[in-house]
Amino acid sequence: MKNTKKALLALVLVAVLIIAACGSSDSGGTSGGSSSGGTSSSQTGGSGTSGSSGGTQSGGGSQPAQPATNFPEKPIELIVPFDAGGSMDALGRIMASKISEFLPNNQTLVVVNQPGGGGTVGLTSLVNSKPDGYTLALTPTSPYITETFFGQVQYKHTDFQPIIKLFQTPMYMTVKKEAPWDGFADWFEYAKNNPGKLKVGTIGPSSEGGLAIQDLMLKHNLNINLIPYNGGGPAMTALLGGDIDGAIVTGPSGKSAEDQIKRIFIVAPERSPSMPDVPTMNEHPDVDSGHVHFSGILAPKGVPDDIVKILHDAFRATVDDPEVAQKITEMGVDIVIGDTAEYQRISDETAKSEEALLKQLGLIN
């Protein structure tokens, strides 16, 4: 009696395990990736099974040759290569909340955080995943282009298929309200006449804003002390505390004490639509230094063109949606959409100019 009961229980358990096993190989769609595919695509190289074992789909292969007219058939994974709660993450989630309306089959977009290495870990994972359109990443310029020149990441910007350029996060030279400069011209004059006196805070060692200023310094023989900080927050604290004379940080996303600061210029070639009164460096006749920093959606190279188009259209429509657009602009982020070809073009251009600048600064060979 007891033995049969035990045997029965054991059988039930084995059955449960088998069902769980079958369930695990296509992972119920909640995480948008299968069990095996999931882990392998979140690693870098290692045992070399990246993106190949099991694959990222439950049924049917999606080899690039197939006309994937029914794309997407399951949730799409959007890698955000930064921590949850950060601005990239927020952007991703805002879009994810609305994009189902614009995706065929009303499929969903699932945000997956893969922080690390300033964004490079997430992008490394993207580059190793299957180019079937089900794995994408939302990334700024830095890990996508800038970081590739230092020889410490395993990919080049050409390993990615740009889908759509979405945002530009303008960086402003922010100073205290009492500071004696009101625009780029006086600040520039001061910098020229007072070598070594100015202290300007930047984010990280080779941030986009920092590089632009270094370009300016190089071309005009300026001597400015650049001091890297761990983020906009610490830089702003240092500014308010008087440690530094200026900080190159993003615009008002609430992280600044608005009534204590003013923005004297934007470190970009064009003015930002969200702050049209702030002049750019390049308006000065002698200056041509502003850099553009953009964020967009990438996929690994090899995604078929029709899928690229479907994704591009969906994201464009999402960001055009007034509700989404409003939330994004309130974050201080500019929506400047560029289609697939434009994104590719600007990526190549930026890569070229940044590589040249880095060489000039002596940072790479």
Partner 1 sequence: MSYKKASFVALLCLLAVGISFLVIASNWTYRTSLQNVVSPKLYPMGLCTILIVLCVISLFQTWRRKEDHVIPLPNVKRTLSTIGLTVAFLLAWRNIGYFYVFLALYIFLLLFVYQSREQFRKIWWANLIYAGIIVGFVWFLFDYILKIRI
Partner 2 sequence: MQYLDLSTLFSLDVLLAIIVGTFVGLFIGALPGLGSQIAIILLLPFTFTMDPLVSILLLLAAYQGAEYGGSISSIVLGIPGTPSAIVTVFDGATLARQGKSGEALGYSLTASLIGGLVGGLALLFLTRPMAKFALNFSDPEFFLIGILGLLAVSALSSKDFVKSMIFAVLGLLVGTIGMDMFTGLARFTFGRPELMSGVNLVPVLVGMFAFTELFKMIDEDMTKKFVVDKKNVRIRLPRTNLGSLLKFSGLGSLIGTGIGIFPGLGGGTSSWFSYVLAKKISKKPETFGKGNPEGIMAPESANNATVGGALMPMPTLGIPGASSIAILLGVFIIHGIQPGPALFTKEPALVSGLLWGFLLTSIAMFVLGLFVTGFFSRMLTLPLYWLVPVLLVLSLLGVYASKGMFFEIWLSFIFGVFCYLVRDLDFSFPAFVLAFVLSPIIEESFRRSLMLSNGSYAIFVQRPYSLAILAIIAIILAIYVYRKLRRNESPKEVIDEQKPA
Give the strand order in the sheet containing 160-168.
Answer: 109-113, 76-80, 135-140, 294-300, 160-168, 334-338
Tell me how far, at minimum, the Cβ of 330 lies from partner 2, in Å: 5
Is residue 199 near partner 2 by the rule CB under 8 A? yes
Q: Whole-angstrom Cα distance, residue 269 to residue 350? A: 13
CA triple 83-86-87, angle to 5 deg: 135
| Partner whose footprint covers residue 56, from partner 2, partner 1, none (CB < 5 to 8 Å by kind) | none
* Among positions 195, 205, 273, 302, the unique one binding partner 1 when judged by CB under 8 A: 205
**Applying CB under 8 A, which part among 182-190, 221-229, 299-307, 338-346 lies near partner 2?**
221-229
Is residue 13 near partner 1 by the rule CB under 8 A? yes
Nearest by Cα to 166 from 311, 17, 289:
311
Is residue 47 near partner 1 by the rule CB under 8 A? yes
Is residue 4 near partner 1 by the rule CB under 8 A? no
C-alpha separations of 346 from 14, 171, 343 in Å? 56, 18, 5
Is residue 30 near partner 2 by the rule CB under 8 A? no
Is residue 257 near partner 2 by the rule CB under 8 A? yes
Q: Which residues contact 345 (CB under 8 A, 6 or more apart)?
A: none
Q: Which residues contact 70 (CB under 8 A, 6 or more apart)?
A: 104, 105
Do 80 and 89 contact (CB within 8 A), yes or no?
yes
Do 261 and 177 contact (CB within 8 A), yes or no?
yes
- Contacts with partner 2 by CB under 8 A lie at 39, 42-44, 46, 83-87, 89-90, 93-94, 97, 112-118, 120-121, 124, 150, 152-154, 196, 199, 204-206, 225, 227-230, 233-234, 236-238, 240-241, 243-244, 252-259, 326-327, 330-331
Residues that bind partner 1 (CB under 8 A): 6, 9-10, 13-14, 16-17, 20-21, 23-25, 27-28, 30-40, 42-43, 46-47, 49, 53-54, 110, 112, 205, 214, 225-228, 361-364
